[in-house]
Structure 1
Amino acid sequence: MAIDFPGMSPAPAAGNRGKVSEQQTPGNAQTPGSANMQTSKPDISDTVRISDTAQALQRSVGKQDSSADVDTDRVAQIKAAIDSGSYKIDNERVAERMLQFDKLLG
């Protein structure tokens, strides 16, 4: 499977592929007797810039992982109440909170 990258020379045909050390590219073409010669690298450097939005997102993920938003004591109390059968659901409170949430979205 070949992948074409804009602005780059096309990859060699499938039948011409070989080991990386055996491939001939314009920058590393070898002549007889020059197998050990090093070619100089171009003075081009690549840079990567992460957008401000991506940086803020990364910081928020790190903060979220470090802070505990769960009250483990309260969770344990509710689990114990459910197991014992003493946990009661307040239907009116649930309905009221659902309506409040719907108003936030609407």
Structure 2
Amino acid sequence: MDEHLFLVTYDIRDVKRWRRVFRLMKGYGEWLQLSVFQCRLSRRRHAEMLEMLDGAINGKVDALLVIDLGPADRIKPRVVSLGEKFEPVAREPTIV
């Protein structure tokens, strides 16, 4: 499977929309910090996530970044982590 590792971070101005985005992101990746997730996604899941997020935010006042870190099976993120240990998302089977 051709998956990429993504870092998703967002600044949502409304608490209700923030909660909706947070719940949505929990279905696509691992929560790292308040508004930061790491996701291991196929092209299809990536496109699905973007469509869902686009419908959940207010594009006039909210900001959301999706950073493609590269092919998940060939990338070893170099991260400096202070405090709680950082673990990259591992490949797991997806049941559809």
Provide TM-score, normalisation by structure 2: 0.19
Which of the pair is proportionally richer in strand? 2
**Higher share in helix:** 1
Point out the structure with max Rg over C-alpha. Answer: 1
Q: TM-score, normalised by structure 1?
A: 0.18
